Amino acid sequence: MVARFLWRGKIKLLSAATALGGGAGAAAIANSDDPGTALKLCTTVPVRLLRVSATAASIAYDYEYSLWGLPEGSIERSRAKHEVHIRGACRLQELCFQNGGIYIKLGQHISQLEYLVPQEYVQIMRESMLNRCPVSSYDQVCEVVKRELGGAPDDVFDEFDPVPIASASLAQVHIARTRDGQKVAVKVQHAHMTDTAAADYATVELIVNTLHWLFPSFDYRWLVDEVHESLPKELDFLIEAKNSVKCMDNFQKLSPRIADYVYAPRVYWNLSTSKLLTMEFMEGVHINDVKAIQRLGIQPSDVAKLVSQTFAEMMFKHGFVHCDPHAANLLVRSLPSGSWSILGKRKPQLILLDHGLYKELDIPTRTNYAALWKALVFSDAKAIKENSMKLGAGEDLYVLFAGVLTMRPWNRVIDPAVDHLVFQGNDSDKSELQMYASQYFSQITELLRRLPRDILLMLKTNDCLRAVNNSLIQGASLEMFFVIGRVSSEAVIEAKLLQKKSFLRLINVWLEEVLLEIRFSCMQIAYRLFQLRKALTW
């Protein structure tokens, strides 16, 4: 749909965007204190811009040509659309890898938008964006280390592996050993990021604004605004280090019952700067490696429950949320000094990596978001509407907002059945999601434009967590929603206790707690009976 619009206006897009790109390059030179860097920007920006324009035009032409004359709803059109989705996703993937940096960050974001883009794009981008990021050469790494720490890697560290163990959109990680023998992970920012980040942002902004000018219904300016705010913070590794410390402090103070089950690597402050971060090396397995988790003697379902608990506590109680919890940023290991359970299984510990992207929620936003999730778990239509409107969805789009959060249609959201929010992950559910994504594209785009940036990042976090849980247990778990319902309910009660206290209010809050416990117990019993009945019918 969007691609057909792009095809009709591709010539206009190419000329306008290229002209604007040239202007951005000229502005970079005029405002730069480093003529060499400015000249480099002036030559790289137009090339990247031309790649974007050419990719958009080729994708648009493919859609227009491949679907021409095929009746809507026909098998032939569905087959052709599937094939062109795959080709379009591959072209977009190649563009992200060629341009690198911010483009890979955007590609990672696209891979989570199951409610907005075709499944083929989600699958192809998700499989590649986390595992095939570009790698800086060792010479470039040495330049950064020398500039930041005053010497070559071999001068600063006792050992330094020149081959990175991981590479992401903004940096790559090397194993090293400090002079006192400690094994560490050294996160080194890609050498080009400092020079090209601003130019990349300008290029993306120009493309998105031009697209919106040509096709007003295509409005992704909210995404550009979010990148503009978050990117400088992600590029400063000292902010990332402080975030990790604050995150762990919050668990110790506000969520002591699970504090031992959540961990972030210790920072070596004397070997860290804004462009280089030295951390404790963590032995663990990636959270989407189910077989490796099982080899540790850990149940994947226990890991899924811990992930839900951890991020529910962050969102609803701490108000300080790790907003990039994709599979590459989450490790699992056995709980240190943890004992074996009666069933011979070990308890998991969740290791949080990459603390560059956090969002701090103010108390009203955090409380309203908690109240919304409580309402979603309990199928409370009135409270869903009330809290969705408080969060910015409006009276006309609150139903859609509930659907985006839960990936369920409205009739399922308000269904009183105990498993009403569980997404089975079967072909029927996926087809239903894609139908809604296509049918309500413009409304979803308007919703994303309308919501505050804080809530947009919560949506991104929600999308990442859904993908993680799907990889662990092949679909959403009812247990996950029990956890979310309980933590969000506790947060709502705590917020009420912070209000003006009176004896009557305390009694009301106490009664609410009792009723919640009864309700959760009934839900648990109903779920066990449902499982038993299901097992007996097999």
Q: Which of 86-90, 184-188, 462-466 has the lowest mean pLDDT?
A: 462-466
- Burial, 537: exposed, middle or buried (Cβ in 10 Å; 0-12, 13-18, 19+)? exposed
Decide: 445 and 218 in contact? Cβ < 8 Å.
yes
Distance separating alpha carbons of residues 285 and 305, to the nearest angstrom: 17
Provide the 10 A C-beta neighbour count for residue 401.
25
- CB neighbour list of residue 81: distance below 8 Å, 6 or more residues apart: 66, 67
pLDDT at residue 36, as a whole number: 54
Helix, strand, or coil here: 55? helix
At position 234, the amino acid (one-letter code) is E
Per-residue pLDDT for 77 more than 50?
yes
pLDDT at residue 45, as a whole number: 67
* Stretch 46-73: mean pLDDT: 84
Per-residue pLDDT for 6 more than 50?
no
Distances (CA, A) of 143 to 138, 140, 273, 309: 9, 5, 14, 42
* Stretch 388-409: mean pLDDT: 91
Average pLDDT, the chain: 82
148-198: pLDDT as tens digits: 999 999 999 999 999 999 888 889 999 999 999 999 999 999 877 766 676
Distance separating alpha carbons of residues 169 and 189, to the nearest angstrom: 9
**Alpha helices, DSSP H only, in 255-362?**
290-295, 300-313
Per-residue pLDDT for 468 more than 50?
yes
* Stretch 50-58: mean pLDDT: 84
* Stretch 283-292: mean pLDDT: 93
* Catalytically annotated residues: 324
Q: What is the chain's alpha carbon radius of gyration, rounded to the nearest angstrom?
A: 25
Per-residue pLDDT for 53 more than 70?
yes
Per-residue pLDDT for 384 more than 90?
yes
- CB neighbour list of residue 380: distance below 8 Å, 6 or more residues apart: 374
Q: Which of 360-364, 457-461, 474-478 has the lowest mean pLDDT?
A: 474-478
pLDDT at residue 1, as a whole number: 43
Provide the 10 A C-beta neighbour count for residue 444.
20
204-252: pLDDT as tens digits: 777 777 767 766 666 677 777 777 778 888 889 999 999 999 999 999 9
pLDDT at residue 521, as a whole number: 77
Per-residue pLDDT for 4 more than 60?
no
**Alpha helices, DSSP H only, in 150-220?**
153-156, 193-214
pTM for the model stands at 0.82
